Amino acid sequence: MPTTIVLRHITKIFETPSEAEQPASESAISNIVNALRIGSDASARTPGHLPEELGRQRAVDDVSLTVYPGETLGILGPSGCGKTTLLRIVAGLLRPTRGEVLYDGQPLEDIPPAERGIGMVFQNYALYPHLPSVDNIGFFLKLRKREQEIPQRVREISRLMRIDLKPLLSRKPPTLSGGEQQRVAIARCLARDPRVFLFDEPFSNLDAKLRTDTRVELKRLLQRYRITTIYVTHDQTEAIALADRIAIMREGRLVQIGTFEQLYNAPVNAFVAGFFGKPAMNLFPGFAHHGTWEGATFSYGPIRSDLNEDTPLILGVRPEHFVLDNTGNITAIVELIEPIYGERIQLVYTRIGSHRAILRLPLRHHVQIGEQLRLSIATDQVHLFDQESGKRLA
Ligand X SMILES: Nc1ncnc2c1ncn2[C@@H]1O[C@H](COP(=O)(O)OP(=O)(O)OP(=O)(O)O)[C@@H](O)[C@H]1O
Residue 19, binding choice from ligand X, Mg ion, none, Cβ under 5 to 8 Å by partner class: ligand X
Sequence-distant (6+) residues with CB within 8 A of 44 are 37, 122, 124, 126
The minimum distance between CB 84 and Mg ion, in angstroms, equals 3
Contact indicator for 228, 3 with CB cutoff of 8 Å: yes
Which of 138/252 has CB closer to Mg ion?
252
Which of 43/381 has CB closer to ligand X?
43
The minimum distance between CB 234 and Mg ion, in angstroms, equals 8
Residue 82, binding choice from Mg ion, ligand X, none, Cβ under 5 to 8 Å by partner class: ligand X
Partners of 285 in beta bridges: 314
The minimum distance between CB 204 and Mg ion, in angstroms, equals 9
Q: For binding to ligand X (CB under 6 A), which residues are involved?
A: 14, 17, 19-20, 47, 49-50, 54, 57, 59, 77, 79-85, 234
Residue 237, binding choice from ligand X, Mg ion, none, Cβ under 5 to 8 Å by partner class: none
The minimum distance between CB 306 and Mg ion, in angstroms, equals 42
3-state DSSP call for residue 13? Answer: strand
Which of 84/182 has CB closer to Mg ion?
84
Positive or negative: CA dihedral 305, 309, 314, 319? positive
Residue 20, binding choice from Mg ion, ligand X, none, Cβ under 5 to 8 Å by partner class: ligand X
The minimum distance between CB 250 and ligand X, in angstroms, equals 10
Residue 14, binding choice from Mg ion, ligand X, none, Cβ under 5 to 8 Å by partner class: ligand X
The minimum distance between CB 118 and ligand X, in angstroms, equals 18
Residue 366, binding choice from ligand X, Mg ion, none, Cβ under 5 to 8 Å by partner class: none
Task: For 116, list phi and psi in degrees, rounded to 5.
Answer: -70, -30
3-state DSSP call for residue 272? Answer: helix
Q: For binding to Mg ion (CB under 5 A), which residues are involved?
A: 84
The H or E element that residue 264 is part of is: helix 260-265
The minimum distance between CB 184 and Mg ion, in angstroms, equals 22
Q: Give the whole-angstrom CA distance, residue 66 versus residue 37.
A: 30
The minimum distance between CB 48 and Mg ion, in angstroms, equals 8
Residue 194, binding choice from Mg ion, ligand X, none, Cβ under 5 to 8 Å by partner class: none
Which of 3/57 has CB closer to ligand X?
57
DSSP β-ladder status, 372-377 and 57-67: unpaired
Which of 204/297 has CB closer to Mg ion?
204
Residue 117, binding choice from ligand X, Mg ion, none, Cβ under 5 to 8 Å by partner class: none
Q: Give the whole-angstrom CA distance, residue 360 versus residue 281.
A: 11
Q: Give the whole-angstrom CA distance, residue 87 versus residue 7.
A: 11
Which of 50/393 has CB closer to ligand X?
50
Q: Residue by residue, what is the 3-state secondary structure of 119-155?
A: EEECCCCCCCCCCCHHHHHHHHHHHCCCHHHHHHHHH
Cα torsion for 210, 212, 213, 215, to the nearest 10°? 110
Which of 155/234 has CB closer to ligand X?
234
Which of 54/266 has CB closer to ligand X?
54
Q: For residue 302, give the nearest of 368, 210, 384, 208 by alpha carbon.
A: 384
